[in-house]
Amino acid sequence: MSGASGKSIRETVMAILAKHPAGMEKKDLLNALRFELPDANLGSVSAQINLMALDGRLVRPEWGIYLRAEDYNGPPIKSAVRRKRSEPEEVPKAPLIRDSYLYYHSEFEEVVAKSLGRLFGVEFGPSSDQAHPREFAFASSDGRLLGDIIYGTMVAGRGLSKAKYSEISETVWLLEKSPAETRFVVFGHQIQVPEFWLQKYGHVPSDVWIFFCDHLGILTRLR
């Protein structure tokens, strides 16, 4: 399938949003682009939308809403993409695609952190477990709750690589060694990834909870 160029995608995005000065939800914008550019690669389309938001041509006054910068007259908006101090400012993280949605990793961590906060009634932030030289993505300030996040992708849509099995098992093992009262792993991207791992290792006794978080921030406990 042939794909549209980045320039033609950006031009089409701006033309569509010019007709909707109040903004559009991303799913509606993607549907409109799918109609206008039927041969375009969906991942490229979604990535271009996010890049346009990063370089200032689009703004997001609220989660999931996009509009042209010239149509926005509200207060300044901070970028939704957080970067670790070790990362160059000009280099965004690798994209994470879930169905017709695209998040940058740090954006998805924010979605998961908010969902976990609603579930447990506390605020989460990254923290290093003193017992291990490893930073976990989610920790409560009192240390009772500790968890990590894994972005899972199947190999050719059929299963997991040995490396992915090892990554998941290592993460679960490290959490088991933590003194936290409640420990968990949250998966994103493809729910089949934790399902495959659980089929192989789910029989092994463990008190580490397994969650999947979809693009809407809905958490599903798998174990």
pLDDT in tens, 21-51: 888 887 788 888 888 888 877 767 777 777 7
Higher pLDDT, 36 or 7: 36
Indicate if 168 and 76 belong to the same structural domain: no
Indicate if 206 and 138 belong to the same structural domain: yes
- Is 87 part of a structural domain of the chain? no
Indicate if 117 and 161 belong to the same structural domain: yes
Structure tokens at 78: 């901070």
The length of the chain is 223
First to last CA, the chain: 39
What pLDDT shows up at residue 88? 38
- Is 112 part of a structural domain of the chain? yes
Beta-ladder partners of 150: 187
Nearest Cα neighbor of 151 from 198, 200, 96, 87 is 96
Indicate if 61 and 134 belong to the same structural domain: no
Q: Give 126's Cβ-side CA count (13 Å radius).
A: 11
What does the alpha-carbon distance between residue 16 and residue 23 come to, in Å, rounded to a whole number? 10
Boundary-marking domain end, from 80, 106, 134:
80
Indicate if 208 and 137 belong to the same structural domain: yes
Own/partner pairs for 212-217, CB < 8 Å, 24+ apart? 212/186, 212/187, 212/188, 213/108, 213/111, 213/112, 213/115, 213/186, 213/187, 213/188, 214/98, 215/98, 215/99, 215/101, 215/103, 215/111, 217/111, 217/112, 217/114, 217/115
**Helix/strand/coil percentages in the chain, nearest 5:** 35, 25, 40
Indicate if 201 and 102 belong to the same structural domain: yes
- Is 74 part of a structural domain of the chain? yes
- Is 92 part of a structural domain of the chain? no
- Which residues span the domain enclosing 59? 6-80
Indicate if 62 and 140 belong to the same structural domain: no
Higher pLDDT, 122 or 74: 122
What does the alpha-carbon distance between residue 46 and residue 81 come to, in Å, rounded to a whole number? 15
Indicate if 66 and 137 belong to the same structural domain: no
Nearest Cα neighbor of 61 from 16, 22, 10 is 22
Boundary-marking domain end, from 80, 109, 138:
80
Residue 210 pLDDT class (50, 70, 90 cuts)? very high
Indicate if 113 and 173 belong to the same structural domain: yes
- Is 108 part of a structural domain of the chain? yes
What does the alpha-carbon distance between residue 37 and residue 61 come to, in Å, rounded to a whole number? 26
Residue 97 pLDDT class (50, 70, 90 cuts)? very low
What is the domain count for the chain? 2
- Is 89 part of a structural domain of the chain? no
The CATH number covering residue 167 comes to 3.40.1350
The percent of residues above 90 in pLDDT, for the chain, comes to 11
- Is 33 part of a structural domain of the chain? yes
- Is 128 part of a structural domain of the chain? yes
Provide the mean pLDDT of the chain.
76
**How many other CB atoms are there within 10 angstroms of residue 22's CB atom?**
9
